[in-house]
Structure 1
Amino acid sequence: MRSIAFVLLLPTRPIAAHVVRSGKWCFGSCETVVTYATFNDTSPGSKKARLCEGILRATSLYLCIDEFCAESGRETWLQDANDTCIQRVNATLPPYEIIEQFRPEERSGLKRLSADEAFTWPTLNEVVIPDEEFFERAFTTLDAAYFEYDIHRIYGYVLFYFWAVVVSIGVGSKVVSLIQDLRRQDLHRVTASPDEFNHYRKNYGIPRSLQTLLKRYITVPAAFNSRCSQPFKCCTVPTRIQSLTILAFVVLNIVLCSVGYRLTDGNLYWPTQRDQLLRFVSDRTGIISLINFPLIWLFGMRNNTLIWMTGWDFGTYNNFHRWVARVSTAQAVIHSIGYTIMICERDGLASLMRYLHKTYFWNGELATILMCALIAFSVYGLRRSHYEVFLAVHIVCSVFILVTMYYHVLIFGAWEWNGFVYPCVAVWVFDRLLRGGRILAFNYRVWNTKATATYNPDSHIVSLRVPCNKSWAKPQPGTYYYIYVVDEPLYAHQSHPFTLAYVSTEIERPDLQLPLSSISERPSAHRANSNDSSESDALLQSADSLSKPDSLVFLIRPYDGFTGRLAKRAASHRTSVRVLIEGPYGHTVPLRTFTNILFVVGGTGIVVPLSHMSSLLSETSSVVNLRVVWAVREHAFLASVLRDFRALIDDERIQLEVHVTQDIQVTDDVPANGLKRVKLMPGRPAVHSVVEEMAMESGYDGLAIVACGPAKMADEARKACVAMLGRGVGGVEYFEEKFKW
């Protein structure tokens, strides 16, 4: 018990030495061997006082050092040991010069302390020197212990390097994408000349082939099978590139927790190699688990600087967040079980009960239990069906995990291991400050943001309009905002993300349900006049052309929870809702550089093409062919979109293919007159056929496939995109604009 306590305390005191014949930890080895004996030249009292004030002990210690250790580093070690005594008992060690009275012939006659005698914990009244075998055992014990202590931390830092490489690849990929966009724009500028077009194709053929292979086999496909957006049984499976990254991380953790153990014979603290392995594995898993903590908090934050650096979405880092947390939890469980076994092997449950009264021990056990509970309450089904429960448990458990971990490792000092807890707190505070900053940037009068909610039972859609004339950030296509409803006290802490549908003004569009005749007719728009002014164009002006947008409009499909409560409030009449708006988040996909664009959307996913449409149809856009395949349940929802965006839909570059999946009877709500670019079809769309047709039409021109809607539809679009890449259509790019938790 005393030896184990000693090892726990050793890392808190730096020891420096240069070997003469026995190795790096010579001074500590001498201290270890003399600790086995109790010298009776001091009055029985504080053990710490006896260790510092005893003459016999100090003389034995100094003689051991003089015989086995080099002089280099000795003064530093003695000064550190002396400072420790002053700090603990306000006493100093006897001077090192006390051993000068022992001449060489006198030293040879001193008692040699063997390991066998030392293990009896003798009480001595004379100076002793350890025999060489005992000293060597002490040295190899400390050398192995300190080697493991250092290698545990080093292996933990390897994980930081791993993620640094991953992020670097992401940054490099973002730079390459920007270069590709510039090249694509250059390509469009020379397409008028066939010779120049072929020259570009020849120059970019080889790298494009490599990119096609990467997209076909690595970056675009689902991990296996064809499920990516759809849950796989009780969980979700990320894309193949994300899955490979996560797999590499998991394998790396397994390897780092399985190799590099220095097991020795004659170890003073853990006699058998089985005991040594149990201790070292328990230590390493605990240390690496803690080192993973900053990564967990960083990847899970909404305002993650890595998102800005790499351009990857929140869902990507959320997948990383979950898997780092799972690995860290598994390591914490192994750490806790290992130490529990070691404690119970000493004196059974009685020993365990004694340890449960130690602050560091019960805090560690509680932290592990909380981590397991957090993982259990974060499964996909609970996140989706009971988000409020998931959120509450997540916040509470996270806070208590940090608190219990702080007290668990506090015995090693304020910074020794809590240096991995403080960054978690810093990241959390930074994220919350930025959240508050975004809310203030939207409207510095945070108490005065009132949204208008309107529910249409026929279309089963809630239209939420939020005044945004005080916002500092201009709305961008494809971005999303977090919405808090603060006049619901029980749920005011919750925020929910919604993609911006469009920007409108109160005067031009007082309500989602406008009369069918409210939008004036105009000739079919062509590329030359697609920017003619009209009321519908005002609804979807690009961010650059809007100086003071009046309202953000969100189209929300109500389900349970927040959206259900919102629909209930607006069921009878238009209602005012006091909200906080945090955003915008996300980034605008560079669709303007593509010649051909295919949107595959379902339900309220129509907001994605709507938010981009005005920008894509501007004169500066490269878009020639824009096709929207939309699966919608209700004719009423379809009618409102056709009515409000008729002018844009009439553009000759647009083809809108609408699949009505539930209402099989066409109603008068659908304004069919004059909508030449709209095609109404019953049933669900054949996504693969649509993608194939569009890819064949595009040829060597770029084709952007954007999916937003039901998970099955998105997976079908992804699978079809991979199939087209396999057929040599290398200009296909796949984008999924669905927020993923």
Structure 2
Amino acid sequence: MHLLAPLLLLWQIVGAGAKQGTIGMGISMYKPVCAYACHDALASLYLSCTTFSAEGHDMEGMVMKRMEEMGGEAMGTTSEECYATDPVWAQTLAYCFRDRCAIDGAEEDAVRKAWTALSMTEAAYEDSIPPERPAAELAADAVWLNVTSLVNSELYFSYRQTLSEFEFQEEMHVRLSVVVCALTVGITLLAGLYQHLSAGRLGNLIPFGVSKHLLLPALFNGRHQAPLPGNLGYAPSRILSLFIFLYVVLNLIFSAVPYKSTLPTVANAWFTSEKSEIATYVANRTGVLSFANLALAILFAGRSNPLFWLADISQTTCLTFHRWAARVSTVQAVVHSILYTLTYFWSGGANAYYAEVKVAYYWWGIVATVLMSLGIAFSALPIRLYQYEIFLVSHIVMAIMVLVGCWYHVVLRFKYNWGYEVWLYIAFALWAFDRLSRFLLGIYRDMLGTTTQALAELAPGGKLIKLTVYPGTKWNFGPGQHAFLSFPTTGRLWENHPFSIAAWDHGIAPPTSEGSQTARKEVEKDPEIAAAPVLDDSSGSSSRQTSQTRTRPGQPSRPSVTFLVRPRKGITSSIQRDLSLVRGTPVPLPLSIEGPYGRAANLASAESILCIAGGMGITALMAYVQRFVEARRAGSGALKAARLLLAWSYRQREIAEMVRALLPADAAAVGVECRWTCTGTGTADSAAGAGDGRMDVDALVREEAVGVRRLAVLVCAPGTLADEARRVVVGVVGEGGTRIDLHEESFAWPWQLNLAVPSSVLFSQRELAGITSTVHGERDTRKAQSGVPGSREASESPRAKARGGLGRGPPADHRRTSRGWWTGSRLDLADLCCVTWPVPSLLSPHGD
């Protein structure tokens, strides 16, 4: 429901801005063409009331008159009053209308409308027609019109052919642009429909060869999640590469054909050479196509992209196509600019070009084209990876200026006559939809400002930060989700950061409303919250209105969301530094949250599930473990699979303890097997049942594919491991009649941030001093009071021990509130770190 208002706003913006439509779709340029040809054949002639300035004018008559109507300079030799009062002008024009339009079979109403628009006289069309046919025809080189005459036939047909061909080309520009947009969005929707259907029984109808050679492999069956050599970018999957290839080829073809010159068969009234005519058509075509593709780029860049819900496609896919749409739009804008530059040099040399450059509309076009080109250059992967802040800030500024430049380029040139601005209205509306839907989403879920409470805790070893967030209202939690957090104490209220959802508690509802109020008061008095340090003086009551992280018997619990964050540079590093002073103690942290975004993979038809995780990618797959466990508990038949194998390769042994606490206690009993491999150094994690060395992906996939007709493989790992898993799946699919559905959670994201944040994110200097002086003496007491997860050991499941997997459940205090917890990783989060993402974001750093 929260999307209804943004959709209505989008409709209003586009509808209000495009009242008349665009050329060929609501706007007619020169219809009936007979009337406009008559007008233009007479427009350059002097009338008896024409006035001349002292400076005079060196213009090209009819050409300049037509260029005036298309937005060029005005002749200014004959006033409208002169046209309105000159009977010779009215009679000559009216007779031409009647004579030529009768031959063309034009409708009378259309002729009358053209008369009203072109004659500039108040006299009625019928009253202006002379009673007798004019005796003489104007010469082709006539200068004056001082007697009622017949329009020169050669000149009339020249204008008629010129106007007809030009309008045809303008209509083609719009039609082909609409086709590009419709096909792009339509194919995306069809791909979403296919994805939905293929997850069911219809997926069994897909030939193994199609899956093996088209749907599953990377472009060259090599790198996909790992960047290409030299950080040139990321290779899309083979099927996505095919879609991108067809999109680029379609734009190339539409930019190149169809064009037809009136020369040399008929003299062209506007162009002196065939190359100038064709160059103008191509320039206009690429200009309109560039606008259409710019709107597509904005559509696929939005965080609240409607295609996420309509087509159920991943944001990584959308961002990949977003970049290609932006590239195509930029190339077309460059071609548009180059061709118009050439036409001015061809027609009048350097002087003509430099004179045109001084006009405001022209240099606004140059600004837009140059900034689009710089935007593409600054979005190169090496810059995104190593200078992300520069890319981000410059890209947002340039994106805004591109839209501003495009707007003034068309409005100053054509005003609102031809509907070119409609494409910009669409772009503005899509941007507004994204921003407003996200804002309303926050209001709808009551998660803005101080309504959201959170606790931050540093895990043993200091390698992870656990954020337990209490949203204002309950979410519909699920695997594959992420949320955006902003931290008011950093002073950068405009920044928000994407984090993966690692776990949550749906909460236990109270029996009555009165009980709810009583329970809430008891929750706020929870000893764990009372023992936690206060953030800072500026946070006020919001920093004290925190909630429980454990549930006492007979009391309601509030829904909560848990984020596991690996500290990197910037804000996460500052939070880690402050939490190290009170290690093991949850600390209130004011923040705002937006989300969740993302959807889970459809595993309903899989007979067995294999999860392959690398590093912090485990959090994405823990979500599916929890969903599997809940489905097996409920026995609802939502999943066919009776077995799930969780294979995890990691370096830091310290993170295993916190991940272990997220596993349901009965995971092994319902069919979950864990095989963990540690590639780092240190004491062996015997409690986790983890071995040493690299994961044997080939053996895992082949083992799980034996004896099943349909296997689901979920992968969330660094690029090398993810690409290896994809290659193995492609090699195994079809063996023994086994179908394999591969689902990837993208893992790559630039995390190298150097954000300037206050010296303390969590505490004021006064609080830091107090905490530092007392924490060593109080740490054990506070830990005992707070009931921190992990402070007490849980027993290991004998079933899991016998199977060689991880069977340890969460601590006893924690089990009562851990039902329904799973994790989610989405949006290309590397090691579940935070990434600055000011809005609106037009280009994103992954999936080239």
Question: TM-score normalized by structure 1?
Answer: 0.80
Contact 2:716–2:744 (CA under 8 A) maintained in structure 1: yes
- Residues 154-179 of structure 1, C-alpha deviation per residue, up to 9 Å, x if partnerless? 11111123124303422431441464
* Deviation for aligned residue 1:246: 0.9
Q: Distance in 1 between matches of 2:418 and 2:159?
A: 28
Distance in 2 of aligned mates of 1:685 and 1:325: 39
> Of 435, 447, 450, which aligns to 2:450?
447
Partner of 1:235: 233
Where structure 2 has 5 or more consecutive residues not aligned to the other structure, the ranges are 1-21, 53-76, 508-522, 530-548, 747-826, 829-845
- 1:615 aligns with 627
Tell me the alpha carbon deviations over residues 5-62 of structure 1, each in whole angstroms, 9 at most, x when there is no partner: xxx9999775433xxxxxxx22211112112322234445654444444333333323
Partner of 2:336: 335
State how 1:473-622 maps to structure 2 within 5 Å: 473-490=475-492, 492-504=493-505, 549-573=558-582, 575-591=587-603, 593-617=605-629, 618-619=632-633, 620=635, 621-622=639-640
Distance across 1 between alignment mates of 2:578 and 2:225: 31
Q: What SS class does the counterpart of residue 69 from structure 1 fall into?
A: helix
1:325 aligns with 2:359: no
The match for 2:659 among 634, 641, 647 is 641
- Report how far residue 549 of structure 1 moved: 5.0
1:394 deviation in Å?
A: 3.0
CA distance, structure 2, for counterparts of residue 92 and residue 389 of structure 1: 61
Give the secondary-structure state (helix, strand or coil) at the position aligned to 1:38: coil
Matching of residue 31 in structure 1 with residue 39 in structure 2 = yes
**Cα distance change of structure 1 residues 291 and 615 upon mapping to structure 2, 3 Å threshold:** closer
Per the alignment, residue 116 of structure 2 pairs with: 82
CA distance in 1, matches of 2:81, 2:575: 70
Instruction: Quote the Cα distance in structure 2 between the aligned partners of 1:300 and 1:13.
Output: 33
Unaligned runs of 5+ in 1: 1-7, 18-24, 181-203, 512-537, 541-545
Which residue is 1:736 aligned to? 744
Counterpart residue identity of residue 244, structure 1: L
Of residues 464, 472, 475, the one that matches 2:474 is 472
Alpha-carbon spacing, 1:459–1:453, altered in 2? closer, same or farther (3 Å):
same
Q: Does 1:653 align with 2:665?
A: no
CA 1:242 to 1:539, structure 2 compared with 1: closer, same or farther past 3 Å?
farther
Partner residue, 2:204 = 208
Q: What is the aligned partner in structure 1 of residue 130 from structure 2?
A: 100
Q: Secondary structure at the match of 1:481?
A: strand
Please tell me whether residue 626 in structure 1 is matched to residue 635 in structure 2: no
Q: How does 1:48-63 map to 2 (within 5 A)?
A: 48-63=80-95
Give aligned-pair identity as a percent. Answer: 26
Q: Do the aligned residues in 1 keep the contact of 2:199 with 2:602 (CA within 8 Å)?
A: no
1:666: which partner in 2? 683
Which letter maps to 1:637?
A: I
2: CA distance, partners of 1:482 / 1:52: 64
Specify the alignment match of 1:254 in structure 2: 252
1:166 is matched with: 187
Q: Which amino acid aligns with 2:695?
A: P
Aligned to 1:526: none
Q: 1:478 to 1:9 in 2, by over 3 A?
A: closer
Which range moved further: 396-405 or 565-574? Answer: 565-574
- Within 1, Cα distance between the matches of 2:365 and 2:621? 51
8 Å contact kept, 1:15–1:77: no
When normalised by structure 2's length, the TM-score is 0.70
Query: What does residue 176 of structure 1 align with?
Result: 197
Report 1:187-206 matches (<5 A): none
Q: How many correspondences in the alignment?
A: 646
Residue 225 of structure 1 corresponds to 221
Equivalent position of 2:539 in the other structure: none
Aligned AA (1:653): G
| Contact kept in structure 1, 2:651 and 2:679, CA below 8 Å | yes
How far does the alpha carbon of each residue in 1:331-373 deviate from its partner, in whole angstroms, 9 at most, with x for none? Answer: 1111111112222334444333332343322222211122112
Alpha-carbon offset, residue 683 of structure 1? 2.5
Cα distance per residue 1:272-313 (max 9 Å; x no partner): 111111110001000111122332221111111211122111
Q: In structure 2, what is the Cα distance between the partners aligned to 1:412 and 1:211?
A: 55
CA–CA separation in structure 2 for the residues paired with 1:336 and 1:228: 35
Cα contact 2:189–2:307 (8 A) shared by 1: no
Displacement of 1:606 after TM fit? 1.1
Rounded to whole Å, the distance in 1 between the matches of 2:736 and 2:416 is 61
Conserved? CA contact 1:707–1:735, under 8 Å = yes
* Match of residue 18 from structure 2: none
Aligned with 2:36: secondary structure? helix
Look up the equivalent residue of 1:267 and give its one-letter code.
Answer: N
Following superposition, the deviation at residue 102 of structure 1 comes to 3.3
Deviation readout 1:431-451 (Å, 9 max, x if unpaired): 112212232344345224243
Q: What secondary structure is seen at the aligned counterpart in 2 of 1:558?
A: coil
Structure 2 CA distance for partners of 1:510 and 1:339, relative to 1, 3 Å = farther
Task: Find the residue that maps to 2:259 and give its secondary structure.
Answer: coil
Matched to 2:252, the amino acid is I
Supply the distance in 1 between the matched residues of 2:393 and 2:331 (Cα, whole angstroms). Answer: 23
Q: How does 1:710-729 map to 2 (within 5 A)?
A: 710-729=718-737
In the TM superposition, residue 637 of structure 1 has moved relative to its aligned partner by 1.1
Contact 1:688-1:720 within 8 A present in 2 as well: yes
- In 2, the alpha carbon distance for the partners of 1:626 and 1:283 equals 57
Deviates more, 1:398-407 or 1:283-292: 398-407
Q: Residues of 2 paired with 1:610 and 1:717: CA distance?
A: 18
Task: Give the equivalent residue in structure 1 for 2:818.
Answer: none
Q: Does the aligned pair in 2 maintain the 1:458–1:634 contact within 8 Å? A: no
The Cα of 1:152 is off from its aligned counterpart by 1.2
Asked if structure 2 preserves the Cα contact closer than 8 Å seen for 1:443 and 1:471, the reply is yes
User: C-alpha separation between the residues in 2 aligned to 1:351 and 1:562?
Assistant: 55
Are positions 1:389 and 2:381 aligned together?
A: no
List per-residue Cα deviations over 1:241-294 (Å, max 9, x = no partner).
111111101000000111110111221211211111111000100011112233
Match of 1:151 in 2: 172
Question: Which secondary structure state, in structure 2, belongs to the residue aligned with residue 472 of structure 1?
Answer: coil
CA distance in 1, matches of 2:670, 2:196: 34
Partner secondary structure for residue 229 of structure 1: coil
- The aligned counterpart of 1:201 is none
Alpha-carbon distance, 1:149 to partner: 1.2
Q: 3-state DSSP class of the match of 2:625?
A: helix
Aligned to 1:519: none
Instruction: Decide whether the 8 Å contact of 1:441 with 1:473 is kept in 2.
Output: no
The two structures, once aligned, show a CA RMSD in angstroms of 3.2
In 1: Cα distance, 2:526 partner to 2:732 partner: 43
Q: Which amino acid aligns with 2:31?
A: A
Aligned match of 2:301: 300
1:631 and 1:684 in contact (8 A); partners too: yes
1: CA distance, partners of 2:385 / 2:589: 25
Distance 1:316 1:420, change over 3 A: same
Residue 399 (str. 1) matches residue 400 (str. 2): yes
Residues 292-441 of structure 1 aligned to structure 2 (within 5 Å): 292-410=293-411, 411-413=414-416, 416-441=419-444
What is the distance in 1 between the residues matched to 2:306 and 2:361? 34
CA distance in 1, matches of 2:526, 2:207: 46
Greater RCO, CA 8 A, separation 6+: 2
* CA shift digits 1:199-248 (9 cap, x unpaired): xxxxx8xx725243332222221112311111123111211111111110
* Kept in 2: contact 1:642–1:671 (CA 8 A): no
Equivalent position amino acid for 2:643 in 1: N
